[in-house]
Amino acid sequence: MGFLPADDPEVVVYIAVDNAKGITQYGGTIAAPLAKKVMLSAIDILQIEKREGEIPKEFVYLDPVYVSVPDVVGDDLKTAQKKLKDFNIKVEGSGHILYQSPPSGTKIVKGDTIRLYLH
């Protein structure tokens, strides 16, 4: 659940996920990314301007850090491993990367697993 802007709310977002799939089933990993997308869209649609003097969020050690998955399709394994140093990698096959899961551009938690299929 969230609202914005904080000092004069115009939008309230509540996300409920019934029967979430995956290993972790916490609100911060399942519902929060969805709420963020909705709220970012609301900011654009309502043309809510960034305010001066805001306090940036500081992360604590328990907060998951989301990073964008780089594109490694077509790379050899050694090059892909360098690009994917922040992730756990599972490899199937040999040669160059034919397919990766999740695809490039996907935001996932740093340290999550990326599967590489080589030919």
Q: Which two tokens stand for residue 85?
A: 């140093």
Q: Are strands 11-13 and 113-118 parallel, antiparallel or unpaired?
A: unpaired
Helix (H, G, I), strand (E, B) or coil at 67: strand
- What CATH number is given for 66-118 in this structure? 3.30.10.20
Long-range contacts of residues 25-29, Cβ cutoff 8 Å, at least 24 apart: 28/64, 29/64, 29/109
CA distance 116 to 101: 7
User: pLDDT digits over 58-110, tens only?
Assistant: 777 788 888 999 999 999 999 999 999 999 999 999 999 999 999 999 989 99
Q: Would you kindly state where each structural domain of the chain is located, as residue ranges?
A: 2-46, 66-118
Considering the entire predicted model, what is its pTM? 0.53
